[in-house]
Structures are given as C-alpha cells and as structure tokens.
Amino acid sequence: MVCIAAFIILCLVGVVVAFLSIFKREIGKKYLAVFKKAWHCVFKKVRLQKCDTNFKDDVKNTILKKVILKKPKLVKPLSIIIEIISVLIVVITVWSFVIAIKSLLALWVFGTCNVSKPSACSLASESCSIDEAEASNIFEQIGQNIGQWGEIFAGIPDRLKSWGESDFNDTRNISMLNLQDSEVMKKLEDGSYDNKKTAYDIMDPGCIVCMQSYKNQLDSGFFKEHLTYVVFYPIKNPDGNLRFKNSEIATKYFLAVQVYVNNKSNNDDKFLVAKLVNRLFTEKNNKNVNWQSVLNNELEEKEVIELFSGWLKDFGVDDSEVAEIEKLIESEEVEESLAKNRDTVDNKIHAKSIPTLVYDNGKHSGLYKN
C-alpha cells in the first residue's frame, strides 16, 4: 500500500513540481525519476504481481532516516503508522473516485449530483428540490448509498428514452397556454388547433422557481410553440409536511376547477385554471406583493379558497358555479387526481426537482431559461 499511496501523493505534488520545473529543470528530472519508479510499482500491484523494485523501502527510509540515527526504537512503530496512513490514503482516494463517478452519473440522469438531497448540489439547476429523509446512523447511510446507486442505474433508461403523451395518461390534463394569444385560444376552442408539439410542466403552486420558469416560458413564446399541460405536484419535506404550506390546497382547488370544467356539457371556458395560475404567477395585490408570496406567507386554507373563488368571479364565473367548485375540492375525484399526479412524478418521471419540464421528447429539470 505504501507504493500506491506514494504514487497518489506524487500525482498531486506533480502539479506543483511541473510549475517549479519551469524555473529549475533539475527538480522536474528528479521528480520524474521517482514518479516512474512509483508508477512501475503500482502497475505491478494492479496486475497482482510483487514489486521487483525496492521503492517501498526507499520511501520508508527517506521518511525514517533521521529517526534511525536518533531514536532507533521508534522505527518499527513509525513504520506501522506509515503503512496505516498509506492504506487510508488509498481508501480515501478510491472512495473519492467512486463518489465523483456517482455524482456525475446522478447529474446526468437526474439533473442533480445528490440523489437524496438535490438542494445540496451546487451544480444542479435552479429548482425546488424533492429531498429524502436523512439517514440517522451509519447502517442507514450505507443502505441509502446503495439505494442511490440503484436509483441512478434504474434512471439511465429514463434519461435515454423519448418522453411523450403516453407518460401522462393518468394525470389530469390542464391547459397552460399563453392566454394573450387570442388566435391560438380561438383555434383550441373550436377544435382546429393542430400544433404537433406537446409539453408538460410539473410544478408546485408555491415554488418560486416554478413562477420564474412560467414567466420565462411566457416571455419566450414557449406556449405558442407547444400545446402545454401542467401536472401539479405539491412538494413534501422528508418529515411529511408540505414545503409550501398552501401548495396542496391550491392544487386541489385547481384540480376541482378542471374537474368541474371537464364535466360541464356546455364548456364555456376551458382555461379557467390557466387564468388562475397566470394571475398567481404574474400579478400582484394592491400592496404590490406578488400573489404567490401572499399564498405562501399570509393566507390560511380557508382564505386561499376565498381568494381563488373571488378570482373566478372576476373571470365571469357565477356564484352557483363557484359553490359547486368549492364542493369538489375534497371530493374523491380530486383526491384521486392528486394521487395520480404524485404517482406519475415519483414513480414514472422519477423527478428529483420541481419544476420538471417534458418537451421535444426530452425531460428537463429545473428552471426553464429563455
């Protein structure tokens, strides 16, 4: 192990030596001779052969030569310590390589280098992460680590597959088009819209990044190019509590509106949910505070329902229809729709962060950028 540890250290020192050798070439020559000797020994070890050099002894003698002269009794214990340190250097180096490979694979597959806690990965896209519970002891940590490798390998086919409409058959399809595009809206209402590009936005009503992602899509003309649907997913913390306290009641309200619209025989307005979300993400109250911030920080559940019901009335929905929608919020149909959304995101899409966008046959994690 000493020769392998020495080789690792020499690799790290090589950067400094390479710089110094610019000014003193003899330093580089001496280093290169030692490095070649170390590499030859390591190459033998890799092939399970014994080193035919005395490199290990050279390293030990170099470190211990002063001790041999002054305190020879310490040579043996120090020699053992050198062996132990060498083993630790090798183990740490191998472990570092394994973690680096795991992080790179996770980043490629899930868009985050930390599978269980995406928010801890500085390389990940801007997003509201879906974190798992932290392991409480070493055995749980080992089990979690092994499980993460399993998730990564299981997610590789997802990374390579072509995503599309069939992956969202179980979700409640809620149109999220650019409401200012009257021409597209008219074509949708009369059934003449023939855009072949379909997209899906997985978002949490309380997620700030979802709001910014929506604005970016709106500004870039994304909704003009893609027939876009939203899949609402209220994020939960590892302890089971909601990340944003009112995201679930907001989701239920949106789903209730869509259930009501879909069940109407005379479908006067197919885009009520889109109008609600558009106001939530793009408009402000009379105190110049954006409505999403109000939703997250100032309202209780009952007040959320009252707010959204007031918005529906602004959009021309009468009191009796609003009352019917409010009755649907805790209905079995809405609960089932929410459960299907969660199942799709957790078990089919395997999203680790919100928003996750599916468009142009690919899955894209994090903030949509213009």
pLDDT at res. 363: 85
pLDDT computed for residue 92 by the predictor = 65
By C-alpha distance, which of 367, 365, 358, 354 is closest to 198?
Answer: 358
Report the share of the chain in percent with pLDDT over 90: 24
- SS3 for the chain, per residue? CHHHHHHHHHHHHHHHHHHHCCCCHHHHHHHHHHHHHHHHHHHHHHCCCCCCCCHHHHHHHHHHHHHHHHCHHHHHHHHHHHHHHHHHHHHHHHHHHHHHHHHHHHHHHHCCCCCCCHHHCCCCCCCEECCCCCCCCHHHHHHHHHHHHHHHHHHHHHHHCCCCHHHHCCCCCEECCCCCCHHHHHHHHHCCCCCCCEEEEEECCCCHHHHHHHHHHHHHCHHHHCEEEEEECCCECCCCCECCCCHHHHHHHHHHHHHHHHHCCCCCCCCHHHHHHHHHHHCECCCCCEHHHHHHHCCCHHHHHHHHHHHHHHCCCCHHHHHHHHHHCCCHHHHHHHHHHHHHHHHHHCCCEECEEEECCEEEECCCCC
- How far is CA 121 from its chain centroid? 8
pLDDT band at residue 10 using 50, 70 and 90 as cut-offs? very low
Res. 15: pLDDT tops 50: no
Q: Which has more confidence, 95 or 57?
A: 95
pTM of the model: 0.69
How high is the mean pLDDT of the chain? 74
What are residue 212's phi and psi, to 5 degrees?
-65, -35
Segment 245-263, tens digit of pLDDT:
999 999 999 999 988 888 7
| 2 compared with 348, residue with greater pLDDT | 348
Task: Compare 28 and 221 and report the one with higher pLDDT.
Answer: 221
The pLDDT assigned to 5 comes to: 45
Residue 357 has pLDDT above 60, yes or no: yes
Q: Would the pLDDT of 272 be above 90?
A: no
Q: How many CA atoms, within 13 angstroms, populate the side-chain half-sphere of residue 66?
A: 1
pLDDT of residue 245: 92
Q: Residue 288 corresponds to which tokens in the numbers above?
A: 């110049």
Do residues 176 and 228 make contact, with C-beta atoms less than 8 angstroms apart? yes
Measured CA to CA, the distance from residue 199 to residue 231 in angstroms comes to 11
Contact 243, 295 (CB under 8 A): no
For 273-315, the pLDDT digits (tens) are: 888 999 999 999 989 999 999 999 999 999 999 999 999 999 8
Specify the pLDDT at position 178: 45
Banded model confidence at residue 3, pLDDT cuts 50, 70, 90 = very low
Query: Which residues face 362 on adjacent strands?
Result: 359
User: Which residue did the predictor score with more confidence, 168 or 11?
Assistant: 168
Q: Are strands 356-359 and 198-203 parallel, antiparallel or unpaired?
A: antiparallel
Does the pLDDT at position 93 exceed 70? no
pLDDT, tens only, 45-72 = 554 555 554 545 555 555 555 555 566 6
Domains contained in the chain, CATH given:
2-101 (no CATH), 105-156 (no CATH), 162-365 (3.40.30.10)
pLDDT at site 195? 60
More confident residue, 37 or 345: 345
C-alpha of 88 from chain center: 32
Task: Tell me which residue of 215, 218, 216, 250 sits closest to 233, measured CA to CA.
Answer: 250
Tell me the pLDDT tens digit for each residue of 107-123: 777 777 777 776 666 55
